[in-house]
Amino acid sequence: MASTSIKKKRRGLSLTKKRALAGWLFVLPFVIGILFIYGPILLDSLMYSFSTTQTINGRVVLTFAGFDNYVSIFNPSNPDKSFPVTLLDSTQDLILQIPAIVIFALFMAIILNQKMAGRTVFRAIFFLPVILCTGIIDSIDAQSAMLEAAGNVSGVIDTGAGEDTGIMSVMDLQSLLGNIKVGAGLVEYVVGLVNDIFDIVSRSGVQMLIFLSGLQSISPSIYESCQIEGASAWETFWKITLPMISPMILVNFIYTVIDAFTSADNRMMSFIGGNTSYFTRSEMAAMYWIYMLVVLAMIALVAVLMKAFVFYQRRD
Amino acid sequence: MDTTPKVKRESKNKIRVEFDRAPLWERIKAKFFSTFFLKKVVYVIFRFVLLIGVSYVILFPYITKIFNSFMTASDFKDVTVVLLSKAPTFDQYKYIITENGYLGALLNSFLLSFTTALIQTFICALVAYGLAKFKFRGNNIVFILVIVTLMVPIDAIQYQMQQYFNDLDKTAFTENFLEKINESLGFMNSYIPMYMLSITGLGFRNGLFIFMLRQFFKGVPDELEESAYVDGSSTMRTFFSIILPISIPMLVTVFIFSFAWQWTDDFYVTTFFDAIYLTKNGWPNIARIAKSVPPSLALATRNLPQYSSAITGTATILIALPLIIAYIFLQDKIVQGVERSGIVG
């Protein structure tokens, strides 16, 4: 009697197995997508990078070519269209820009988190780029900015002095920093950031949102006890806010790396996308794969570097 | 100075306390001439200037676009015109709306964006919930795959994606399927590929949505579901009638992002539609109105690149207008949704 009842119990799945099955059921749409749509597409791209293409009767036929494409993109015949040089420049650009975006987002999130008149309005304005600076609107803006820049450059040549329509004269800043002798590299960096200010502001919307959510989750009682103990705002920031928000800094760094590296208007992406007639499909696929490895390496680098600084508050 | 308060009994239950207060001037001096107050004032001014400055940087391109949208061709030839047009007209708006088919595009893009955003929000919530709350072998692998879809630049696989859906058109299974739903012309130039990508959680930045929702669901206490299970609720029912209702702020945020990014999308439209952004049923996409100068204005833009760029800017305003209107009403929800998500690494 007892043995049959045990058998009956065993007939169904155990609870853990049931839960595991339910879990699979929830992620099933994505898994199907990966197996039948995304996986094949990604694999196809990888195959392209290892083959030469030929069009026979309107169909593309791939012939295995080993690492030929990879070798050819690293030995460019035309120095103006050199993949390794662009890759290096673009990566350097982004490495300089990414910390600026994250720090700006943190700074702005802290200010937007304070109580003040008109906070809702400022928040609305600051998050506007999240909605608007994407896709078609972004690409049109980039085009018109290029047109304007071209116009400004010719204006500079015409008048000699240059009509300044910007917020701050870059020339002034350059001479100011030059005068206090902080080193040419730093001057160039700061001037570059001021030039890209719109880019930085419009790219930090999501990061600001993530930081705001992090700041909201810090318990006010910690700040209160700090105040009672006599800590200054400066100390509170370094000892409380920064450690408490460090997981968000990691998330934001990774998000910014992904966002900046995969955006269609960074130097590398526009280099590959803009030379579709110069490179073959296989070479383009090879370039994209190398680039993806670089992005992966960057993410790994950020994760490793940040790991030492991230502080997790254990719950319970 | 004696500062002990004087207590005077006025009636049985009422007392009157009188302080010897310092003179007004002393009090004002103590309040407003301290370094603490000075620091605070300087900080508030600094903060205000900074916020105004950054807001200006963000809004400046839109402000110039709005001013330019009322200009005529002659305003661009006139060097004295800076922002305000000398003879403001609605011509740019008028011709873009009538000749570039704005209203039709509005309706179409709304339908597409709304349906895909709805599907994407739901599917991402489903996948995110599975990843956040269930331990199963391969959970981490699926999560890594989510991050991979986010990490691969979409432009990198654009050509292969196009090929994939092109080839899919030619299989017998697809032909059978298409016959059933009366689509004789195939997947390309239709919304089907976009729906397929949305249903499988592979749409634009869906990896980010899954990540955000996963973090949110991780913050939902397990006790909530356990009590539902104890009461005999199934996993699916718990998800639909307990988890989804409490995550509405977050879902609204994801929906807004998804809708806005699909609305301004330029990538999938170029991948799956031909260059003129029309589906085979003749449905235009909103991105189309910015791609050409209306014929009535074409003559005036000749040799006047500023004017044609102003027209494109006007088209941008028209594309952004519905989003901005929706944003004004919903921006509280976006901030709320993310604030409550408690995204912690």
Interval B60-98: pLDDT, tens: 888 888 888 888 888 777 777 777 777 788 888 888 888
Q: Which residues of A touch B223 (CB under 8 A)?
A: none
pLDDT bin (cut points 50, 70, 90) of residue A167 is very low
Position with higher pLDDT, B150 vs B342: B150
List chain A residues with CB under 8 Å of B332.
120
Give yes or no for a contact between A244 and A311, defined as CB atoms under 8 angstroms apart.
Answer: yes
Give tens-digit pLDDT for B180-199.
666 556 677 788 888 999 99
Q: Which of B150, B323, B343 has its CB closest to that of A213?
A: B343
Distance of CA B227 to the CA centre of its chain: 36
Domain membership flag for residue A263 = yes
Option in A123, A202, A299 nearest B335 (CB): A123
SS3 label, residue B273: coil
Going by C-alpha positions, the residue among A38, A99, A82, A86 that lies closest to residue A260 is: A99
**E-strand spans in chain A?**
51-56, 59-64
Q: Which two tokens stand for residue A219?
A: 């318990």
Q: What is the mean pLDDT of residues B226-254?
A: 88
- Which uninterrupted H or E stretch holds A148? helix A135-159
Query: Residue B20: helix, strand or coil by DSSP?
Result: coil
Residue B341 with chain A: CB contacts under 8 Å: 213
Residue range B243-254: mean pLDDT, rounded: 86
Across the interface, whether the CB atoms of A147 and B305 are under 8 A apart is answered yes
What is the reported pLDDT for A164?
44
Q: Do the domain assignments include residue A315?
A: no
| Residue A204, helix vs strand vs coil | coil
At residue B340 the predicted structure's pLDDT band, cuts being 50, 70 and 90, is low
CA–CA dist A264, A267 (Å, integer): 8
Spatial separation of the C-alpha atoms in residues A279 and A73, rounded to whole Å: 9
Q: Which residue of A has its CA nearest to B333?
A: A124
Under an 8 A CB cutoff, do B264 and A34 touch? Answer: no
What are residue A62's DSSP bridge partners? A53
Which chain A residue shows the shortest CA-CA distance from B134?
A23
Separation between Cα atoms, residue B57 and residue A108, nearest integer Å? 14
> Chain B residue with minimal CA distance to A118?
B48
Q: How far is the alpha carbon of A135 from chain B, nearest alpha carbon, in Å?
A: 5
Instruction: Report pLDDT digits (tens) over A170-185.
Output: 666 667 766 776 677 7
Q: With an 8 Å Cβ cutoff, is A73 touching chain B?
A: no
Q: What is the mean pLDDT of residues A64-78?
A: 82
For B100-291, CATH gives 1.10.3720.10
Distance CA B135, CA A204 (A): 34
How many Å apart are CA B342 and CA B336, to the nearest integer? 11
Band of the pLDDT at A153, cuts 50, 70, 90? very low
Q: Is the pLDDT of residue A3 over 70?
A: no
Taking the Cβ of residue A14 and every Cβ of chain B, the question of whether any pair is shorter than 8 Å is answered with no
Is the Cβ–Cβ distance between B217 and B132 less than 8 Å?
Answer: yes
Inter-chain CB pairs, A–B, below 8 Å: 243
Instruction: Quote the pLDDT of residue A293.
Output: 92
Report residue B263 CA to chain centroid gap: 9
Q: How far is A208 from chain B (nearest CA, A)?
A: 10
- Per-residue confidence (pLDDT) for residue A71, from 0 to 100: 86
Quote the number of domains for chain A.
Answer: 1
Measured between CB atoms, which of B196, B323, B339 is closest to A131? B323
CB–CB of A30 and B320 under 8 A? no
**Does residue A37 fall inside a structural domain?**
no
What CATH number is associated with residue A225?
Answer: 1.10.3720.10
The answer to whether the beta carbons of residues B105 and B336 sit under 8 Å apart is no
Mean of the per-residue pLDDT values for chain A?
A: 80
Residue A296 lies in a domain: yes
Distance of alpha carbon B165 from alpha carbon B167, whole angstroms: 5
pTM of this structure: 0.83
Q: How confident is the model at residue A290 (pLDDT cuts 50, 70, 90)?
A: very high
How far is it between the farthest Cα atoms of chain B? 101
Residue type, A182: V
| Structural domain includes residue A50 | no
DSSP character string of B140-196:
HHHHHHHHHHHHS-GGGGHHHHHHHHHHHHTSHHHHHHHHHTT-TT-STTSSHHHHH
At residue B272, what are phi and psi to the nearest 5 degrees? -100, -20
| Helix A39-49 with A281-307: angle, nearest 10 deg | 110
User: In whole angstroms, how far apart are CA A97 and each of A107, A200, A260?
Assistant: 15, 8, 9
Q: Are A282 and A48 in contact (CB under 8 A)?
A: yes
Q: Which H/E stretch holds residue B296?
A: helix B295-298
Among left, alpha and beta (phi > 0; psi -120 to 50; other), residue B78 is: beta
Encoded tokens for B345: 């690494």
Rounded Cα–Cα distance for residues B38 and B26 (Å):
17
Q: Provide the mean pLDDT of chain B.
A: 83
The first and second tokens of residue B60, run together, are 């400046």
What are the tokens at B244? Answer: 């989804």
What mean pLDDT comes out for the span B301-311? 80
Per the structure, the complete domain to which residue A194 belongs is given by: 80-162+180-307
Domain ranges in chain B are 100-291
